Structure 1
Amino acid sequence: MLKIAICEDVDIQYKILEKYLKVWALKNNITIHLVHYKSSEEFLFNLDENMDIDILILDIQMKEMNGIELAKKLREKDEEIAIIFVTGVSEYISKGYSVGAINYILKPLKEEELFDSLERAYKKIKQLKEKKESLKVITDKQVVKIRYSDIKYFVVYSHYVHIELLNKKITYKKRISDLEEELPKTHFLRCHRSYIVNLHFIKSIEKESLTLDDSTIIPISRGKREKVLELFMNYFDI
């Protein structure tokens, strides 16, 4: 699902955007959730709630704080949200791109222009999501991007990390402490000084070990069992 915020102080313009967005979503089989703000100040007041927004469609000409000023403040907190500017004048174009906007659309809005901007924004969002859900590994021979969902576990021997994947193994030089920092703690846990496991593949947990779906047995360090159990239970509550 895409969460899209529209910051527009003219109701008729909001209604036009809402209509076009619903048509685009239906055409592309995408579920969207729309939220509407009538001023930059209202958006900023709700900023904590807005940190999960994927796309912001932002009018530039608004009372008091304009859209450019809002975008600059937003970029201090979030560099990834896709911003699409809409306005009735062209004088702000250069300033609009200075905050990394996807596009700058002049009113009156044209459906095809908005659709093109939404496609570009959606592509950017998918690329960012894919990047967040994968691990970049540099071996002696190549650079490999591995999806987290393909990783069963990591084990370290003599300063080398061995990655056990669904269909192969990869070995590269890495400190396990550095690797641990790179991985999302919501999906991976370090259960032993030499092992990091993908929570998704854990079948059961015993006193001193855990068992994966493929029957692989991995040791649990003394004192880590309670933490392992806690993370394992929380994982299935996500």
Structure 2
Amino acid sequence: MIKIAVCDDNPYELEEVAEKIKIYLDQQETALQTVIQTFQCGEYLIMEIESGHPADIFILDVDMPGMNGFELTEEIRKRIPAPIIIFLTSHIEYGSKACKNRAFRYIYKLNIDEELYEALDSGFLELRHIEERSITVTHYNEYYRIPYSNIKYIRRGGRQLSIETLASASIFDNRGVKEFLEALNDSRFVLIDRGCILNVDFAKQITGTEVILTTNERLAISRRMLKNLKLALIREWNI
């Protein structure tokens, strides 16, 4: 199921955007299981995410009282590493700021009829790509879709896994190491110790029984796993 969250403090414009999305979905050849949720303030949207019900695509009005669209985006990214954000605004001068906020799309409201459907087409295509290159993690009421390219390594800590990402944030998962490795199902991820999985894209050098990452972090390699890691590096580096 795909979830689209729309946030706009103007109830009439909020209803209009939701209706346009419904029309778009009705026109699709394949039946998309999609839920549209509407919010009149960013705080309610954040509460929904924190309750364990995040969205896949966020359509946010920029100019809102209290928490504006840019501030809301910052809060969303603290909870979801790679959200698809589409900004709506009546102020064309916000375009450069939207780029700095890494918006997926930026739509001027006067052009919404021309631009919204193209943005949704691209958003759904991006979702398919993300699904192919990411893993979904649920820990208590927190939900994350983590792109493989953001995962440096996964390490067992106590009764849970700690997923170390490029954002320097640890994301936790309750699965076992082998179960998580099977879920990843990607040759870039290699077991280098009983309690550690490495994304070899981040491997820079092997020295003795340690691997040095491109981030200059060092991870221990068990002697039993050393040969498998070397073979993975030969394969991935096309040596």
Q: TM-score, normalised by structure 1?
A: 0.55
Q: Percent identity?
A: 25
1:75–1:99 contact (8 Å) kept in structure 2 = no
- 2:122 maps to which of 115, 120, 123: 120
- 1:73 maps to which of 68, 72, 75: 75
Structure 1 residue 39 displacement after superposition: 0.8
Gap change, CA 1:177 and 1:41, over 3 Å in 2: same
Deviating 4+ runs (over 6 angstroms):
133-136
Structure 1 residue 13 displacement after superposition: 0.7
- 1:94 maps to which of 93, 96, 116: 96
RMSD, matched Cα: 3.1
Structure 1 residue 68 displacement after superposition: 0.7
1:8–1:59 contact (8 Å) kept in structure 2 = yes
1: CA distance, partners of 2:91 / 2:119: 18
SS at match of 1:57: strand
* Structure with greater Cα Rg: 1
**Residue type at the aligned position of 1:95:** K
Q: Which runs of 5+ in 1 are unaligned?
A: 137-153, 155-164, 166-171, 184-238
Gap change, CA 1:100 and 1:178, over 3 Å in 2: farther
Residues 203-234 of structure 1: per-residue CA shift (max 9 Å, x gap)? xxxxxxxxxxxxxxxxxxxxxxxxxxxxxxxx
| Stretch of structure 1 that moved more, 18-27 or 173-182 | 173-182
Which residue does the alignment assign to 2:3? 3
Gap change, CA 1:175 and 1:95, over 3 Å in 2: closer
Residues 99-128 of structure 1: per-residue CA shift (max 9 Å, x gap)? 221111111353231001111111111101
Which residue does the alignment assign to 1:35? 37
Which residue does the alignment assign to 1:45? 47
Residues 79-108 of structure 1: per-residue CA shift (max 9 Å, x gap)? 321110001101221221222211111113
Structure 1 residue 11 displacement after superposition: 1.4
Gap change, CA 1:36 and 1:177, over 3 Å in 2: same
1:56 aligns with 2:58: yes
1:10–1:38 contact (8 Å) kept in structure 2 = yes
1:51–1:78 contact (8 Å) kept in structure 2 = no
Gap change, CA 1:25 and 1:63, over 3 Å in 2: same
1: CA distance, partners of 2:85 / 2:130: 15
Gap change, CA 1:63 and 1:174, over 3 Å in 2: closer
Residues 38-62 of structure 1: per-residue CA shift (max 9 Å, x gap)? 1122222333136531000000111
Q: Which runs of 5+ in 2 are unaligned?
A: 136-146, 150-177, 179-184, 200-239
Gap change, CA 1:50 and 1:10, over 3 Å in 2: farther
2: CA distance, partners of 1:73 / 1:123: 24
Alignment of structure 1 residues 206-225 onto 2, 5 Å: none
SS at match of 2:59: strand
2: CA distance, partners of 1:102 / 1:177: 36
Q: How many pairs align?
A: 150
